[in-house]
Amino acid sequence: MTKITVFMSLWILFFSLMILGCAEKKTDELLIKEQIDALQEAIETNDRGQFMDVIDVEYSDQLNSDRKSLQRMLMGFFLRYQAISVYVSATQINIQKIRADAQSQVVLTGGKHLIPDNARHYEVHSCWKKVSDEWLLSCLEWQ
C-alpha cells in the first residue's frame, strides 16, 4: 500500500470514529416523548397494534381498566370515530430510574367524517415503566 492509501484509510477510520462519538444518545425524557408521539400517531391512524405495543402488561387506569379492557375500549373508539385528531402539549416528565410520570394537556377531536363533531380537553397524568430499555405506559389518569 502506498503512503497515500494508508493515510486515507487512517483518515476515514478517524472520521468514522468522530461521527460515532458525536452521535447523541437519546435521553429517557426524549424516549418517553417519542412513545407519546407513537400513541398519538396510532390513535390518529386507527392502528390498534401500534398503540398496544406501547402499553405495559400491567397497565391500569382510573376506570380500573386493564390492558385487555383498554384494547376493547380502543376498538370501540375507532369504530365510533373514523377521523380522530390528538393534540398533546405542555408535557412535563419526572423520571426516577425505571419509573416516570408525565403530565400533559391533551385535546381529542373525533368525527365520522373529515370535520370533527366532538372535541374534548383533558389534563392527563401518565405513568411509565422502563422495560428492557423501552418505556411503556403503565397507568393513566385524566380530568
- Residue 126 pLDDT: 97
Q: At 92, which amino acid appears?
A: Q
Condensed to tens digits (0 to 9), the pLDDT of residues 19-42 reads 445 556 899 999 999 999 999 999
Look at residue 119 and tell me if it is in a domain: yes
Q: Which residue has the cell 379492557?
A: 69
Look at residue 6 and tell me if it is in a domain: no
Number of domains present in the structure of the chain:
1
For the chain, what is the mean pLDDT? 87
Q: What is the mean pLDDT of residues 43-50?
A: 95
Can you give the CATH number for the domain in which 72 is found?
3.10.450.50
- Residue 112 pLDDT: 80
Q: What gap in Å lies between CA 29 and CA 26, rounded to an integer?
A: 8
Is the model's pLDDT at 8 over the cut of 80? no
Look at residue 63 and tell me if it is in a domain: yes
Residues spanned by the domain of 35: 27-142
Q: What gap in Å lies between CA 79 and CA 56, rounded to an integer?
A: 24
Look at residue 12 and tell me if it is in a domain: no
Condensed to tens digits (0 to 9), the pLDDT of residues 69-84 reads 999 999 998 998 889 9
Look at residue 14 and tell me if it is in a domain: no
